[in-house]
Structure 1
Amino acid sequence: MPTVQIGDLLVEVVRKNIRSLRLTVYAPDGRIRVAVPTRTSDQAIQDFVAARRTWISKHQEKFKLQKPAVESLYVTGETHYYQGIGYTLQLHTFDGTPHVVCQEPQTLNLYIREGSTQQQREKVLLAWYRRQLKAQLPEMVAQWQKVVGVQVNEWGVKQMKTRWGTCNIRAKRIWLNLELIKRPSSCLEYVVVHELVHLHERLHNARFWGLMDRFMPAWRTHREQLKRTLLETPIELDAC
């Protein structure tokens, strides 16, 4: 990937078929990437990054202070999050179809075959997460479509590295990040509304945020809550 030196910053530059410039700072090392429309001039890229120097430094320093993420082994005793609450993982040897049972107080029972690998246990838990999120979304999307005054043709769930959600305006399709099932429900609602509002306004401009104020007056609180639970997730400027 091409890189450019802008002041004391080394920046990866990706030219894509997009409308606006997009800046991302990645954990844990503070790597910087800027995605730009194909014909953007080098000077415009330099000006864009330079104008956001303080924002970049803030998040690079934040990452330096974070403890390195501990790799999950999917073994008994680990904490895994569901709807913003930490649950203790409890493994059970089981001859049938591997599955997960959520049990109070705050326990995720993972039934898995003897001799299972870390990857197999992870796959079972992720499949459970996906089912939970897909079960919650129909009612939530339907509710907020009425409030926002739009109708999507399709919604889906997938794992994304740098986005909480995306919206294909032409296809009227939204995607939600699987990681949202680990966050409080208010964070999920915020991202749903954010992507629905993009069907009114493509850009993150004054009109977009004005519509967010109208449809979800408390969106700032929900966004801050989402930011507080980012963990090792990359930070993107102007992302939802």
Structure 2
Amino acid sequence: MAVFRIGDREIEYTLRRSPRARRASLSVTPKFFELLVPEEATKEQINAVLDRRRAWIIETVQHMAERAKVQTRVYQFVTGSKIPYRGRMTRLMIEPFDGSLVEVSFRNCFQIRKPSDLSADSSDTIIESALRLWLKRRVRDDVRDFVRRHGERHGLKPRGVQIKDQKHMWGSCGQDRQINLNWHLIFAPKPVLEYAVVHEMCHLKHRNHEPEFWNLVGRILPDWEAKKAWLDKNEHMLGWEKVEPV
């Protein structure tokens, strides 16, 4: 991993070359960033990109670090713990039962039944895994519903839809007309998830963010700006960090 120096500060980054990349692009996490460049990019061209984007890198790394500080922390998956779900913090209720697998359901709160013989050492890991699986299935079903609702009516039919664990984006639409959505959108209100789905569907017709693209988004969702604003402001709510109790 290379190091980009800005004054006395060192930020780790990875350089990735791709024959499919037409131009340089950056993605950032709190600890490092990735620079994707065309396969034939020279060292001078790479350095020029870094220098040109210096201010953006500093600002974005700081923003991501601040987001990480306020992300929901879960110390134990026990009754009374809370995780974000559909835009609000939601309580867990855990109860033992005679089954062999963790069962997750939702009715005003997460109702989780765990095997009574599940050891304390493995309980947290297994419950967290079951919760993630349940949430991914729920967001997959929601996304498919939105695609059916808006696709045929507006002539926007993707080749397929996948739910992914994407680190740097909420969704993408490939040249192959495959739409990908980040499963963490299940933590946002359902109308915000709908906006993210419509956004990617509109890229089937318009590959950029020119006015024609936003006009199409607006025809489908007239209040898209409020939903986008919620996502931009509350992205720190979209997930949790498991922290070991001290």
Is residue 74–residue 83 contact of structure 2 (8 Å, CA) maintained in 1?
no
The one-letter code sitting in structure 1 at the alignment partner of 2:224 is: W
Aligned equivalent of 1:227: 232
For the residue of structure 2 that corresponds to 1:120, the secondary structure is helix
1:130 to 136, 139, 143: 136
Aligned partner of 1:183 in structure 2 is 188
Largest Rg, 1 or 2: 2
Inter-partner Cα distance in structure 2 for 1:22 and 1:121 = 38
Q: Answer yes or no: is 1:80 the counterpart of 2:86.
A: no
Residue of 169, 186, 194 corresponding to 2:199: 194
Shift of 1:102: 1.4
Offset at residue 174 of structure 1 (A): 1.3
Unaligned runs of 5+ in 1: 234-240
Q: Which deviations, in whole Å up to 9, do the C-alpha atoms of 1:49-80 show, x marking residues without a partner?
A: 33333332223333454526535532222211
State the one-letter code of the partner of 2:84: Y
Once the two structures are TM-superposed, the CA of residue 203 in structure 1 deviates from its matched residue by 3.9
- Whether the aligned pair in 2 keeps the contact of 1:4 and 1:13 (CA below 8 Å) is no
What is the alpha-carbon root mean square deviation over aligned residues? 2.8
Partner residue in 1 for 2:34: 33
Matched, 1:174 2:179: yes
Judging changes above 3 Å, is the alpha-carbon distance between structure 1 residues 223 and 127 closer, same or farther for their aligned structure 2 residues? same
Contact 1:169 1:198 in 2 (8 A): no
Structure 2 distance, partners of 1:44, 1:190, is 37
Partner residue of 1:236?
none
- Do the aligned partners of residues 207 and 167 (structure 1) sit closer, same or farther apart at CA in structure 2, a change above 3 Å counting? same
8 Å Cα contact 2:28-2:168 kept in structure 1: no
Q: Structure 1 residue 158 and structure 2 residue 164: aligned?
A: yes
Cα 1:140–1:125 shift into 2, 3 Å: same
- CA distance in 2 between counterparts of 1:100 and 1:200 reads 39
| Pair 1:45-2:46 in alignment | yes
Report the residue type matching 1:46 in the other structure. N
2:235 and 2:40 map into 1 onto residues whose CA distance is 33
1:83·1:181 contact (CA, 8 Å) conserved in 2?
yes
For residues 170 and 70 of structure 2, what CA distance do their matches in structure 1 show?
A: 22
Report 1:67-146 matches (<5 A).
Answer: 67=69, 69=71, 70-96=73-99, 97-104=101-108, 107-114=109-116, 115-116=118-119, 117=122, 118-146=124-152
TM-score normalised by length of structure 2:
0.78
C-alpha deviation, 1:98, in angstroms: 2.2
C-alpha change, 1:24 and 1:136, in structure 2 (3 Å) is same
Structure 1 length as normaliser, TM-score? 0.80
Q: Give 1:93 deviation, angstroms.
A: 0.5
Q: 3-state DSSP class of the match of 1:13?
A: strand
Give the length in aligned residue pairs.
Answer: 228
Once residues 186 and 147 of structure 2 are traced to their aligned partners in structure 1, the CA distance between those partners, rounded to angstroms, is 15
1:51 maps to amino acid: R
Retained in 1: the 8 A contact 2:84–2:237?
no
